[in-house]
Structure 1
Amino acid sequence: MLTTTRTAIVTGAARGIGAAVAVRLAGDGHAVAIVDLDETACKPIVETIERAGGTAIAVGVDVSDETGVQSAVEKVADELGQPTILVNNAGVLRDNLLYKMTTDDWDVVLSVHLRGSFLMTRAVQAYMTTARWGRIVNLSSTSALGNRGQANYAAAKAGLQGFTKTLALELGKFGVTANAIAPGFIETEMTAATAARIGMSFDEFKSAAAAEIPVGRTGTPDDIAHAVSFLTSEGAGFVSGQVLYVAGGPRG
């Protein structure tokens, strides 16, 4: 049960997992900043939240841009109140086998996932430590365990797990928890793009994945949103530095 209304920031929230997380956090009673590269693309999610009686704003920013991130976080604080919940979800794919992967493929993926999460967290933790309360959730992936054609993505997602554990050590004394969620196969535009890349229809791709998942189905963005809701709740204050694999079965 929600006891305090907080301000939450969700990056990469214009669609997919980020959008579902934003809607869920608004349903939990929080004011939510919908952050994505294209501010216009965030507005339908803002409207969905507002129609349900919630509070949200759209914020356009490149999370790998230091100046832009600082300005975006200040805007959220001014318009919604000091942010004490941060979900670092923004991400991109540049899949390829290692010998075909370009330096740009590597740099873009590491920049968005790792630099972006670092910049957002550094900016937001100042509000959390002042409030003596905070919840940080970083979106990792089962790809952190290794995945063919994703050397860049796997490295970034594994890096986020180390980043998360270090945040937990540094920020715990301020009442701030940091955890990571590592989704398995989730039905999003990103996984649809992966299916197209390997020449499969999305339905075939999902069926093949479901056959290998113990619960017998692929995941949805709402599955991740439920996990985020728990980790950002008042009651999750003794859970920190953990990596939760939301993958329909044991991983790692």
Structure 2
Amino acid sequence: MGRMQDKLAIVTGAANGLGEAIALRLGAEGARLALFDIDSAGLERIAATLRGQGAQVLALPGDVTEETVVQQGFARIAAECGAIDVLVNNVGGSRNQRIWEMSAEAWDFTIRLNLRSAFLCTRAVLPGMMERKSGAIVCMSSGAKEGTPWSAAHSGAAAYSAAKAGIHGFIRDVAWEVAPYGIRINAVAPGPIETDRTRAVFAEMNATLEHSPKRMVPMARAGQPREIADAVLYLASEEASYVTGVTLDVAGGR
């Protein structure tokens, strides 16, 4: 029996990178899965992989920064899959620019992608969890919540840092609001994690920047997606039954 056996878990941004690793990890522990992503082809690929491993999967293409998409998607999950036990708010990203060059559009895009998505999905899942007086929510923050030297030196990432600091504040407040209902909410804050998207830029940073990930991280390496997925699994499972309102740094000691 896996740690998530027969629990229904939602993962947003599940088509690649950290979201893919999280979905695979929860599926391996017995979870039934509902997966969101705007990348419909990537979403079907990971859904097919999971089904091949014996997992039950509902794939939901769509943009979870859109209120209607979230409302309709969560209604479909309830109708087809039943009560939701776990929500993983993984959607995130940024349009990095130096702060003096950043457009209001780029700022708004980053804040919306990281914070609005977490708000909409959390709001949608809570009524059912409150009624059952149980549930776990895990949001994706980042080591960038403290500012990231290599991103600042490379391209600027103030909007991303602000958004991920916002996730920390979000889970701190919501933890107080939902604790009387037996619901836990936490966050994971990854350091530099090597994915298909980040591999090349980390190599460039390590070769050219004094404040590079390799030099600034005590463990002197990038993390792997599985290491983030393991942290999410812990916070989503009953092993973390007395943990709420915590942002767990998984950042090699940074």
- TM over 0.5, shorter chain: yes
Give the direction of change, closer, same or farther, for the CA distance of 1:72–1:173 in structure 2 (3 Å limit).
same
2:191 is aligned with 1:187: no
How far is 1:39 from its partner? 2.6
Give the direction of change, closer, same or farther, for the CA distance of 1:89–1:193 in structure 2 (3 Å limit).
farther
Instruction: Give the match for residue 241 of structure 1.
Output: 245
Q: Which amino acid aligns with 2:90?
A: N
Contact 2:205–2:213 (8 Å) recurs in 1: no
What is the rounded CA distance, in whole Å, between the counterparts of 1:3 and 1:46 in structure 2?
A: 18
Deviations 1:3-60 (Å, cap 9, x if unpaired)? 7521111111100000000111111111111211133320111111111111112111
1:68-107 map, 5 Å = 68-107=69-108
SS at match of 1:79: helix
Instruction: Give the match for residue 222 of structure 2.
Output: 218
Give the direction of change, closer, same or farther, for the CA distance of 1:193–1:34 in structure 2 (3 Å limit).
farther
Deviations 1:65-89 (Å, cap 9, x if unpaired)? 1111110111122222221201111
Gaps of 5+ in 2: none
What is the rounded CA distance, in whole Å, between the counterparts of 2:208 and 2:79 in structure 1?
A: 44
Contact 2:4–2:237 (8 Å) recurs in 1: no
Q: Which moved more, 1:32-41 or 1:6-15?
A: 32-41
SS at match of 1:215: coil
Count of aligned positions: 246
Q: Which moved more, 1:183-192 or 1:6-15?
A: 183-192
Contact 1:84–1:124 (8 Å) recurs in 2: no
What is the rounded CA distance, in whole Å, between the counterparts of 2:53 and 2:47 in structure 1?
A: 10
What is the rounded CA distance, in whole Å, between the counterparts of 1:3 and 1:182 in structure 2?
A: 22
How far is 1:2 from its partner? 3.0
Q: Which amino acid aligns with 1:136?
A: I
Q: Which amino acid aligns with 1:143?
A: A
What is the rounded CA distance, in whole Å, between the counterparts of 2:217 and 2:48 in structure 1?
A: 35
Poorly superposed stretches of 4+, deviation over 6 Å = none
How far is 1:128 from its partner? 1.2
Normalised by the length of structure 2, the TM-score is: 0.90
How far is 1:216 from its partner? 3.0
What is the rounded CA distance, in whole Å, between the counterparts of 1:154 and 1:121 in structure 2?
A: 21
1:57-68 map, 5 Å = 57-68=58-69
1:76-225 map, 5 Å = 76-147=77-148, 148=152, 149-192=156-199, 194-195=201-202, 201=204, 204=207, 208-225=212-229
Q: Which amino acid aligns with 1:181?
A: V
